[in-house]
Amino acid sequence: MPTIATREDVRDGILDATERLLARYGYRKMTVEDIAREVGVGKGTIYLHFTSKEEVVLSHVDRIVERLKERLNAIALSNATAAIRLRLMLLTRVLFRFDSVQNYTQSLDDLLAALRPGLLARRARYYDEEAQILADVLNQGRDSGEFEFGDALATAYALLHATNALLPYSLSTLELGEREEVKEKTAAVADLILHGLLRTKPNAATDPGVT
């Protein structure tokens, strides 16, 4: 189906161009005309795919979350214990987003101020999808006798809520420069909360992974 493939390619090209322009100009200064020029198409072509600049950028955020979900699914399928997989998934959900905005941390406040309502509206869907992936691993951890908890989906949401404050949306420009610090904060929360899920407390000397 070459037509559909091409349509997807153009769409992806527009989102790639948007990412570069967010780094170069920031959200406020970037126009749909700039995006068209960067892709090498006419402005009308952009409007064949998106209704507005806002929708282009929100779709760019959607794509980041789609790619994150692929990573999370890959971790979920790996062979490590459920606790180790969940720890890595929590670190990944924070650091993947962190890395995704590294080229435009200076102008991120602009973007967040302009798109706050649109972003908050999408966020619920993003979290639902992430929660489902986490809940599967939680259930596996319970089946193997590793974890003990009530409802898997409710517990998955608690894991998301506990790490949501470390997503770029909630960080200052300064904090967005400190990857190691964000990583340490996320690991501290993840370890504390995963520790609470374990059926038996590990001996710190023999199981340093999740304490």
Structure tokens at 47: 């409007």
Residue among 25 and 169 whose Cβ is closer to a copy of itself: 169
- Rounded CA gap, 100 and 172, in Å? 15
Residue 1 burial by CB count (10 A; 0-12/13-18/19+): exposed, middle or buried? Answer: exposed
Residue among 65 and 167 whose Cβ is closer to a copy of itself: 167
Q: Which of 121, 125, 143, 179 binds a copy of itself (CB under 8 A)?
A: 121
* Listed ranges 37-45, 64-72, 117-125, 133-141: which one lies at the site for a copy of itself (CB under 8 A): 117-125
Residue among 46 and 171 whose Cβ is closer to a copy of itself: 171
Here's the x/- map for a copy of itself, 75-114, by CB under 8 A: it reads as ----------------------------------x--xxx
Residue among 77 and 192 whose Cβ is closer to a copy of itself: 192
123 lies in the site for a copy of itself, by CB under 8 A: yes
- What string of H, E and C letters represents the secondary structure of 89-127? HHHHHHHHHHHHCHHHCCCHHHHHHHHHHHHHHHHHHHH
- Asked whether 138 and 149 are in contact (CB, 8 A), the reply is yes
153 lies in the site for a copy of itself, by CB under 8 A: no
Q: What contacts 10, CB < 8 A, 6 or more positions away?
A: 39, 41, 45, 49
DSSP code, position 22: H
48 lies in the site for a copy of itself, by CB under 8 A: no
Here's the x/- map for a copy of itself, 172-191, by CB under 8 A: it reads as xx-x---------x--xx--
207 lies in the site for a copy of itself, by CB under 8 A: no
Amino acid at site 165: A
120 lies in the site for a copy of itself, by CB under 8 A: yes
Q: Report the DSSP beta bridge partners of residue 147.
A: 198
* Listed ranges 23-31, 99-107, 139-147, 168-176: which one lies at the site for a copy of itself (CB under 8 A): 168-176
197 lies in the site for a copy of itself, by CB under 8 A: yes
**Chain contacts with a copy of itself (rule: CB under 8 A):** 109, 112-114, 116-117, 120-121, 123, 149, 154-155, 157-159, 161-167, 169-173, 175, 185, 188-189, 192-197, 200-201
